[in-house]
Amino acid sequence: MQNALTLSAPISRLKGAGPKLADKLAQLELTSIGDLLFHLPYKYQDRTRITPIGSLRLGMAVVIEGDIRGTQVAFGRRRSLICRIQDGSGLLTIRLFHFTKAQQHVLKNGAAIRCYGEVRMGPTGLEMIHPEYQVREQGEFEALDQRLTPLYPTTEGIHQIRLRNLIEQALDVLNAQGGLPEWLPPDWLTPWQLPSLTDALRTLHRPDPNTDTQTLLDGEHPAQQRLAFEELLAHHLSLQALRQATQATGAQPIAKSKRLVPALRDQLPFSLTGAQQRVCGEIAQDLAHPFPMLRLVQGDVGAGKTLVALIAALQAIESGLQVALMAPTELLAEQHFLNMQAWCEPLGVSIGLLLGKTSRKDRNQLLDGLERGEVQLLVGTHALFQKGVDYHNLGLVIIDEQHRFGVQQRLALKEKANNGTPHQLTMTATPIPRTLAMTAFADMDISIIDELPPGRTPVTTTVISQDRREAVIRRVNAACDDGRQIYWVCTLIEESEELQAEAAEATANRLAEALPGRQIGLLHGKLKAADKSRLMAAFKAGELDILVATTVIEVGVDVPNASVMIIENPERLGLAQLHQLRGRVGRGTTESYCLLMFGQPLSEQGKQRLEVMRQTSDGFVIAEEDLKLRGPGEVLGTRQTGAVGFRVADMERDAHLLEHIPALADRLNREYPSHSPHIIARWLINADRYAQV
């Protein structure tokens, strides 16, 4: 029976794996025996050697051996049993919060003890809390383990030992089968001195005693690097496959604009920057193709992305196609709508706004117009792609600020178009470090607007403690005297709009008290959309001196006369987010100021991060720092972490591999085209979905 097993057989064929267990394993995406091989340890316990107490460091998980030098019950905040151990090199305490009389008795003075546990700092020195232990009054301890002990990610109801046993069986099947097929050309591995896939898997599941444990724990072992390499390649190949599948659906080619774009440019009180012109050119080229554009435009805040988007939209509209512009928030959608309307109306282009809360009557009217093709440009939030929103001839979708379209959304888009897939233009103000862009956006072409419109003055940033609030308020008052308008931004860690709104309201009240006679507005997420728009309009018109706001103003809001921004508790925000916020000032010609008013105490890292903000206004530098300090998930935003959720690879640790991936992916597709689907299938859970697009 056992020798008939193959890696593609279901796990239930293994010994000790009943249907119940199989169901639980399916929750971990483990169904075939082969899947188990790719279920890798998340860490290893080293029980192969004894570490002298004198060389322990915090956080180490190790085996120690010594003699018991006193056991007693300690009455602190919680009663605990403490036991001191000495091994000639130092002294360690073990602490049990739950203990029995019998345990107290076993931990006898002078007996030998062996413990395995994690080293922590206790009130009197290094400790292990509830370690595993054995005590011997005479005789030897058992032999130490021969290999590092793998610990696997598991789920409720599957014991670590059970999982380990199943994986052992899977390794036996692997060996009986003579290993896994190798899809990487062997000579590719030599420059990095990486093992074959099969050897790498064997090493990771059953590291032998000679394995360099520290590199393994750090994830830098060649076996891990081998897998990371293939995983990064698989990820890249899958995005390319997705791109090809999307483009294979075709799109309606869009000709260069002869009428609308020149008319817009005549209307503009300024000329496009060189960078804007270049990016518009890249977009025009994409649009001319009979397959969908998949382009990401990156540009720092204030670089003028909206105009670039508008120019693309006008091109599509002139070709008789409709355009959908999606913004991440209703506030931003309204802002876009107002801006676009101002540009579009003189050109005779009809534009609509669709929000979740649009009244049924307005909505029906809008949707009728959309279906008949009378609405040429539709602005909105996610509502744009809901059921019941039917376009006459959707040809271009513009996604503002970092909404990344996943596979599902692309499928939905295809359904919205009646001829191929719409062209797609994504705009983001988050400068994405190069390695990250290569990984997360491998399915898109990237354009960068790397030039700000002329006449911008850089924002002077000051870092100041909240203790100096009074002084800050005096400065705000003086700035108002100079005719400046001010943003006062309140941040909160809590996600709750409710709490945010309350905090902002309290601040607004305090400011009103301190600065009687100043016009103060309060903007937060709990306000009705109409009230928000009214407030923004009043602020834009100069009727308000100070706008107290939550981080809802983070994206897109454009009031050139606002030249001072106070940010409370900037230490709570990511650098990219601070950069976005700060980008709301410095849009006019007067010199602008940003005050980062931090709360005490500020950690060393917190200080460093604010210092970065003070020193530079270069979004790329800030993003690189953010990446270093907080990792890729935070930089891309939680929405996108799925795109970079690797099983083995780590974008920072494996950056040296990552650099080579795009070229190698191209080469693989050229020289070994049949291998690529195998590599994708091996690494991507639900890999088949890439074929459906």
**Residues binding ligand ADP (CB under 6 A):** 270, 272-273, 276, 299, 301-307, 429, 453, 558, 560, 587
Q: How far apart are CA 269 and CA 38, in angstroms?
A: 59
Q: What residues have CB less than 8 Å from 114, skipping those under 6 apart?
A: 50, 63, 64, 65, 133, 134, 136, 141
Q: What residues have CB less than 8 Å from 255, skipping those under 6 apart?
A: 288, 315, 318, 319
As measured in angstroms, the least distance from the Cβ of 122 to ligand ADP is 52
**345-377 exposure pattern, b = at least 16 Cβ within 10 A, e = fewer:** eebebebbbbbeebeeeebeebbebbeeeebbb
Phi and psi angles of residue 43, each rounded to the nearest 5 degrees, phi first: -160, 175
As measured in angstroms, the least distance from the Cβ of 539 to Mg ion is 17
Amino acid (1-letter code) at residue 137? E
Q: How far apart are CA 485 and CA 565, in angstroms?
A: 9
Give the residue with the Cβ less far from Mg ion, 11 or 523. 523
- Residue 642's SS3 state is helix
**Binding flag, residue 304, Mg ion (CB under 5 A):** no
Structure tokens belonging to residue 676: 């690529």
Phi and psi angles of residue 503, each rounded to the nearest 5 degrees, phi first: -60, -40
Residue 569 burial (C-beta neighbours within 10 Å; 0-12, 13-18, 19+): middle
Give the residue with the Cβ less far from Mg ion, 39 or 305. 305
As measured in angstroms, the least distance from the Cβ of 448 to ligand ADP is 12
As measured in angstroms, the least distance from the Cβ of 310 to ligand ADP is 9
As measured in angstroms, the least distance from the Cβ of 542 to ligand ADP is 16
The DSSP bridge partners found for residue 299 are 449
Q: How far apart are CA 482 and CA 604, in angstroms?
A: 36
Give the residue with the Cβ less far from ligand ADP, 585 or 644. 585
Residue nearest to Mg ion (CB): 556
Q: What residues have CB less than 8 Å from 621, skipping those under 6 apart?
A: 612
Q: In sequence order, what DSSP letters do the residues of 547-568 get, joined into one string? A: EEE-GGGSSS---TTEEEEEEE
Residue 307 interacts with which of ligand ADP, Mg ion, none, CB < 5 to 8 Å by class:
ligand ADP
As measured in angstroms, the least distance from the Cβ of 276 to ligand ADP is 6
As measured in angstroms, the least distance from the Cβ of 332 to Mg ion is 8
Residue 433 interacts with which of Mg ion, ligand ADP, none, CB < 5 to 8 Å by class:
none
Q: What residues have CB less than 8 Å from 157, skipping those under 6 apart?
A: 24
As measured in angstroms, the least distance from the Cβ of 525 to ligand ADP is 21
Q: CB–CB of 296/445 below 8 Å?
A: yes
As measured in angstroms, the least distance from the Cβ of 458 to ligand ADP is 15
Instruction: State how beta strands 125-129 and 112-122 pair.
Output: antiparallel
The stretch among 302-310, 388-396, 454-462, 484-492 that binds Mg ion (CB under 5 A) is: 302-310
Q: How far apart are CA 335 and CA 403, in angstroms?
A: 17
Residue 295 interacts with which of ligand ADP, Mg ion, none, CB < 5 to 8 Å by class:
none
Give the residue with the Cβ less far from ligand ADP, 36 or 307. 307
Give the residue with the Cβ less far from ligand ADP, 279 or 442. 279
As measured in angstroms, the least distance from the Cβ of 306 to ligand ADP is 3
Structure tokens belonging to residue 427: 């705009």
Give the residue with the Cβ less far from ligand ADP, 112 or 261. 261
Size of the site for Mg ion (CB under 5 A): 2
As measured in angstroms, the least distance from the Cβ of 267 to ligand ADP is 12
Residue 273 interacts with which of ligand ADP, Mg ion, none, CB < 5 to 8 Å by class:
ligand ADP
**405-427 exposure pattern, b = at least 16 Cβ within 10 A, e = fewer:** bebebbeebeebbeebbbbbbbb
Give the residue with the Cβ less far from Mg ion, 545 or 554. 554
Residue nearest to ligand ADP (CB): 304
As measured in angstroms, the least distance from the Cβ of 650 to Mg ion is 32
Give the residue with the Cβ less far from Mg ion, 307 or 349. 307
As measured in angstroms, the least distance from the Cβ of 402 to ligand ADP is 12
Residue 97 interacts with which of ligand ADP, Mg ion, none, CB < 5 to 8 Å by class:
none
**Binding flag, residue 637, Mg ion (CB under 5 A):** no
Q: Cis link prior to 422 (omega < 30° from 0)? A: no
Q: To the nearest 5 percent, what fractions of the chain are helix, strand and coil?
A: 45, 20, 35
Give the residue with the Cβ less far from ligand ADP, 148 or 429. 429
Structure tokens belonging to residue 387: 């059921």
The stretch among 23-31, 301-309, 318-326, 343-351 that binds Mg ion (CB under 5 A) is: 301-309
Give the residue with the Cβ less far from ligand ADP, 297 or 349. 297
**Binding flag, residue 556, Mg ion (CB under 5 A):** yes
Q: CB–CB of 177/33 below 8 Å?
A: no
Smallest Cα–Cα separation from 274: which of 251, 240, 244, 308?
308
- Residue 320's SS3 state is coil
Smallest Cα–Cα separation from 242: which of 385, 404, 394, 436?
404
Residue 195 interacts with which of Mg ion, ligand ADP, none, CB < 5 to 8 Å by class:
none
Residue 301 interacts with which of ligand ADP, Mg ion, none, CB < 5 to 8 Å by class:
ligand ADP
**163-196 exposure pattern, b = at least 16 Cβ within 10 A, e = fewer:** bbebbebbbebbeeeeebeebbeeeebeeeebbe
Give the residues lining the site for Mg ion (CB under 5 A): 305, 556
